[in-house]
């Protein structure tokens, strides 16, 4: 039972950090046009960082499952936001901003997929560079 309590505590702390980062980011990327740039930045940066976290940082620094859960589900889970994405999309739809809606949906869905691929590539590239450095030192 103690381990589950610790997991919830770490998730709580991670979610606190992620939600604060999300709020700060929304203030930085606020637009006067009503276009949800802040949500796009949060979701795309999260889609980039998550594969890097899972595929590189976890192995490179031998991070525990608790740390990975805290960073991925806690921090990134509260930083990125599907509910805000759908609310923003509905707001654009409801206000008749069809061009913004199409741009928003395209950037978020296709862009999210592409930056996730980029995050995986970034992780593989860093792992390869680490391997080359390690092998170079052995010679």
- pLDDT tens by residue, 45-87: 999 999 999 999 998 999 988 899 999 999 999 999 899 999 9
Position of tokens 């996730």? 116
Q: Residues annotated as binding site for Na(+)?
A: 77, 80
By C-alpha distance, which of 126, 139, 135, 132 is closest to 56?
Answer: 126
This prediction has a pTM of 0.87
Q: Report the distance separating Cα 54 and Cα 43, nearest Å.
A: 17
57 burial level (CB within 10 Å; 0-12, 13-18, 19+): middle
pLDDT, position 85 = 95
pLDDT band at 94 (very low <50, low <70, confident <90, very high): very high
Pick out the residues of the known binding site.
77, 80
Above pLDDT 70, what percent of the chain? 98
């Amino acid at each position: 039972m103690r381990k589950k309590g610790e997991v919830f505590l770490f998730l709580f702390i991670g979610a606190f950090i992620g939600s604060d980062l999300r709020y700060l980011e929304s203030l930085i990327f606020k637009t006067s046009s009503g276009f949800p740039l802040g949500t796009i930045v949060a979701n795309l940066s999260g889609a980039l960082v998550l594969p890097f976290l899972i595929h590189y940082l976890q192995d490179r620094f031998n991070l525990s499952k608790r740390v990975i859960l805290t960073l991925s589900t806690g921090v990134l889970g509260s930083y990125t936001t599907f509910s805000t994405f759908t609310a923003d999309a509905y707001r654009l739809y409801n206000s008749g901003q069809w061009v913004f809606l199409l741009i928003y949906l395209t950037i978020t869905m296709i862009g999210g997929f592409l930056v996730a691929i980029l995050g995986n590539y970034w992780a593989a590239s860093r792992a390869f560079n680490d391997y080359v450095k390690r092998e170079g030192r052995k010679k």
